[in-house]
Amino acid sequence: MVTLLVVQHEDECPPGLLGRWWADDGCRLDVRRPYAGDALPHDLTEHDALVVLGGHMGADDDATHPWLTSTKQLFRVAAGGGVPALGVCLGHQVAASALGGRVTPNPAGPQTGLLRVGWEEAAGRDALLGDLATPRRGVHWNDDVVVELPAGAVRLATAPGGEVQAARLAPSVWGVQWHPEADVDVVAGWPGTTRALDEVRTAGPELVASWRPLAAAFLALVRARA
């Protein structure tokens, strides 16, 4: 059985749908909550992959959320060792920062609600996202965006406003700005989302059909390497 190390940054951003899908597919999730006192490992020798979830803090708020420094190091370990890693929303931004990119508040303002995923041509050839590069929408809820990708990274999707929406940040590290783990129960725990709940609830079957294949594709990469 493969084991995923999952870094959760706050109670309101759990593994959600991704966690349930991976568990249903026979995967073990080692969920660490460093804000609640859980320690993060120094490396990934006991884990087959790394997943880093979202949160309200900024990717470079290490001074007030010190576990971000350790999380960045884990992304570097994954990139250096070819360990599959996936960053979601904040996790995507943390990975980009860890590997030499730059994250800032979005000059165009927050991204909220269900947004179309604007796949780039490179996405169709990507090991993780290649079979997903068809019309889909994802739940977005973020103030910050990646404004400069790390050297050698490949942009895989662009948001309607032109922001980086998904990228292969290193050969084994991916980031997505949307929340494939989010259903209406997860979104209900986020501040200021009341008006979006009906939209997300109605889109529930669409979101499952769109993003369960992402969970399966990531797990296939993990198992191929394990």
Burial class (CB within 10 angstroms; exposed 0-12, middle 13-18, buried 19+) of 135: exposed
Give every CB contact of residue 138 below 8 A, 6+ residues apart in sequence.
114, 115, 117, 176, 178, 179, 180, 207, 210, 211
| Torsions phi, psi for 30 (to 5 deg) | -100, 90
Element (H, E) at 74: helix 67-81
Amino acid at 50: L
Question: Distance of CA 91 to CAs 26, 53, 128, 186, Å?
Answer: 24, 5, 17, 16
* Partners of 98 in beta bridges: none
Catalytic residue among 9, 47, 92, 179: 179
* Partners of 29 in beta bridges: 4
Element (H, E) at 49: strand 49-52
89 given a catalytic annotation: yes
Is 138 within 8 Å of 118 (Cβ atoms)? no
148 given a catalytic annotation: no
46 given a catalytic annotation: no
Catalytic residue among 13, 47, 65, 89: 89
Give every CB contact of residue 22 below 8 A, 6+ residues apart in sequence.
4, 15, 29, 215, 219
- Kind of pairing between the strands at 164-170 and 154-158: antiparallel
Catalytic residues: 89, 179, 181
